[in-house]
Amino acid sequence: MSAEQSRAFGRQILPVAGIGLVGVLPVLLGGSNSLLNIAVLIGIYFIVCIGLSLIFGIGGQLSLAQAAFYGIGAYTSALFTTKLGAPVLLGFCAAALTAGVIGWILAAPILRLRTVYLAMATLAFGEILITLIRENRGLTGGSTGLLNLPAPAVGPFAFDTPLSYYYLVWTVALAAAWVARNIIRSRIGLGLRALSDTEIGAASCGVDVARFKTWMFTLGAVLAGIAGALFVHYITFISPDSFSVSFSILMVMILAIGGRDSLAGALLGAIAVTVLPILLASYDRYSELIFGVLFLAAVMFLPNGLAGAGSSLVRRLTVSARSSGERASD
Amino acid sequence: MSFSAFLQFLFSGVTTGAVYAFVALAFSVTFTSSGIVNFAQGQFVMIGGMVAASLCAGYGIPVLPAMLIGVAAAAVAGLVVGAGFILPMLRRGEFTLILVTLGLSIVFEALALIAFGTDPLSLPSLLDLEPLMVHGASLSPDSILLVAAILAVLAGFHVFVRYTRWGRAMRATSIDTSVAASLGINVAFTIALAFVLSATFGGLAGVLLAPVISTGAQTGLLMTLKGFTAAVLGGISTPAGSVAGGFLLGLVEAMATGFISSTYQNAIGLGLLILLLMVRPEGLFTARTRRA
């Protein structure tokens, strides 16, 4: 099999294998609720990071506004369902729409900024939003937040167990990954890569820089909004602490650890930042330090993250396997 | 609002403004020499304050030596960041450098939590004097010291970059690294020096602030945000502009607290940042240059 054929084969087999693994994972985990909780959280982080990998990983725009859109989605859905009594699935749609509209409005002025200036402006946006949420106690419940959020339901069936919620979250995650995968391979993906290298060069090659950036930022906002809504209806309460700057930084860390220019990187990073703290919990007061050192090491020694390291390892193995195979046939 | 209340807010704004000015100047020093925005910048303020306060409270070391050791600790941390992490990573591009300094910020905070715990500490006053009363508003000697210190440091830094060999090397490096290197300037040394200097400024702010407001192990990140906001407000590419931005941010926050509400203090400062970035990304106090 030539390299081109094996790559094409990999492209077809990987999505099928991914869907299959998501399907049977609960069986492999033995139906343990605590493990399913972790899998739900990984799925939610993955959804946010799919959006971020389009904006930051492919497009090179370092946005720290993911927490803000995650919070907008979460509060929209929470308010729709508790104050208006709307069904949760409608709340999810409202969450996606609100986050998307705000993202789209914000995109035009804010995406003129670059690198650290963009990072700081998006971060500032998040901080302002958190303050507004904390202070509008009548609507949002202030620092205590809102309790007893309902579970999503379709007709009589409610997603109120870790197992059913796991399938809900991962269906959304796989759908988002599928959309993102098609975008990355399309002309838009190519244009985003081009503008991350040089905006002037990309524009001179016919890339509509402002429009591409705006739509990616909006899509990222929609995905973060949906993820936020999924999160709060799972834990059944909402408070502003979940949407602080540290969440945005965590999302960037996921891409730095996993690899910022591929969906596999977003997934590996999401798994790493969810599972690592649990494994490190036994080190108690040293856990935060170990996590920080591991993050630093990943940034310094794995320039393309875990996904990059993995794929170069696979390439090296296949090359050496092929050369030893050729030697054997001689 | 009464005049004395207004004065009180003015004094508090100038005091916090002086701290922001220190951090903004520190940002400006590393940014102009290496083009790096150091996300661990606020941690030097925390290190200086926490080391001095814990030495004083835990080991009974007098205030002045404790302060000096605090500044030295921050300078050493700056050397570790500059020489140990930034120099080897310099060719790896902007995002890697941002993430490295972000990682260092997390590590410093984690180390401080292990060493000092979560409780905030405070330092006794260096000047054992009564607060000054001005029209019914009180002005603490520590605040005056803080403001005097930032102005002295700014003047000293100005002399340093104009008239000393190392300072001129720093300016040359900031204009063009490769030309500077070809003229025999040791670029690596210059960048490391910039990081040590900027960390020293941060540490100085930390030890001088500790007698005014108690300091905690988790205050670094907020200080980074505020200092960067101040630097961008005034213009990160000029030291004097950054310092002016620091005072401006401190005053805006204090007046927002006084006239509107203390809860929106952060939001107003950050809103100002977003607005200003839209209109004048070069900062308020810089000559307008056409960017390529």
The series of mean pLDDT values per 10 residues for chain A, 330 residues long, is: 63 77 82 88 96 89 92 94 90 95 91 82 88 86 85 86 92 94 87 84 83 91 96 91 86 90 90 88 81 88 85 82 66
Segment B181-203, tens digit of pLDDT: 888 888 889 999 999 999 999 99
- Judge if A26 and A108 occupy the same domain: no
Q: What is the pLDDT of residue B221?
A: 85
Residue A18's Cβ-count burial label (10 Å; 0-12, 13-18, 19+) is: middle
Q: What is the pLDDT of residue B19?
A: 94
Q: Is residue A240 part of a domain?
A: yes
Q: What is the pLDDT of residue A10?
A: 64
Give the residue from A244, A277, A303 where a domain finishes: A244
* A80-84, A300-304, B73-77, B96-100, range with greatest mean pLDDT: B73-77
Does the beta-carbon distance from A131 to B266 stay under 8 Å? yes
Residue A62's H or E segment, with its range, is: none
- Judge if A44 and A166 occupy the same domain: yes
Domain B3-279: which topology?
ABC transporter involved in vitamin B12 uptake, BtuC (1.10.3470)
Q: Is residue A99 part of a domain?
A: yes
Q: Is residue A278 part of a domain?
A: no
Q: Which of A27, A15, A17 is nearest to A167 (CA)?
A: A27
Number of independent structural domains in chain A = 2
Q: What is the pLDDT of residue B292?
A: 36
Give the residue from A228, A244, A260 where a domain finishes: A244
User: Please, what sign has the CA dihedral across residues B60, B63, B67, B69?
Assistant: negative
- Judge if A238 and A106 occupy the same domain: yes
- B284: confidence class by pLDDT, cuts 50, 70, 90: low
- B281: confidence class by pLDDT, cuts 50, 70, 90: low
Q: How confident is the model over B139-159, as a mean pLDDT?
A: 92
Instruction: Please give the Cα distance from A246 to B216 (Å, whole number).
Output: 18
- Judge if A62 and A129 occupy the same domain: yes
What's the mean pLDDT when you consider all of chain B? Answer: 87
- Judge if A59 and A190 occupy the same domain: yes
Residue B288's Cβ-count burial label (10 Å; 0-12, 13-18, 19+) is: exposed
Q: What is the pLDDT of residue B290?
A: 43
Both tokens assigned to B7: 């004065």
Q: Which residue has the higher pLDDT, B249 or A287?
A: B249
- Judge if A17 and A166 occupy the same domain: no
Q: Is residue A270 part of a domain?
A: no
- DSSP readout, A195-210? HHH-HHHHHHTT--HH
- Judge if A11 and A85 occupy the same domain: no
Give the residue from A244, A271, A301 where a domain finishes: A244
- Judge if A87 and A8 occupy the same domain: no
Q: CB-based contact (8 Å) between B100 and chain A?
A: yes
Residue B246 contacts residue B20 (beta carbons within 8 Å): yes
- Judge if A24 and A97 occupy the same domain: no
Q: Is residue A323 part of a domain?
A: no
Closest CB from B92, B100, B263 relative to A135: B263
Closest approach of B102 to chain A, Cα-based (Å): 8
Q: Is residue A280 part of a domain?
A: no
- B73: confidence class by pLDDT, cuts 50, 70, 90: very high
Closest approach of A179 to chain B, Cα-based (Å): 26
* Residue A238 β-bridge partners: A146
Q: CB-based contact (8 Å) between B271 and chain A?
A: yes
Q: What is the pLDDT of residue A277?
A: 84
Q: CB-based contact (8 Å) between B240 and chain A?
A: no
Segment B112-136, tens digit of pLDDT: 999 998 888 888 888 777 787 877 7
Q: What is the CA radius of gyration of chain A?
A: 21
Both tokens assigned to A248: 């945005």
Helix (H, G, I), strand (E, B) or coil at B17: helix
- Judge if A3 and A71 occupy the same domain: no
Best of A52, A106, A118, A127 to mutate (most B CBs within 10 Å, chain B):
A127
Domain ranges, residue A3:
1-30
Q: What is the pLDDT of residue B282?
A: 65
Q: What is the pLDDT of residue A77?
A: 94
Residue A221 contacts residue A48 (beta carbons within 8 Å): no
Q: Is residue A5 part of a domain?
A: yes
Q: Which residue has the higher pLDDT, A267 or B234?
A: A267
Q: Is residue A76 part of a domain?
A: yes
Q: What is the pLDDT of residue B246?
A: 94
**Chain A to chain B, count of Cβ pairs less than 8 Å apart?**
98
Q: What is the pLDDT of residue A32?
A: 83
- B43: confidence class by pLDDT, cuts 50, 70, 90: very high
Closest approach of B229 to chain A, Cα-based (Å): 8
Q: What is the pLDDT of residue A327?
A: 63
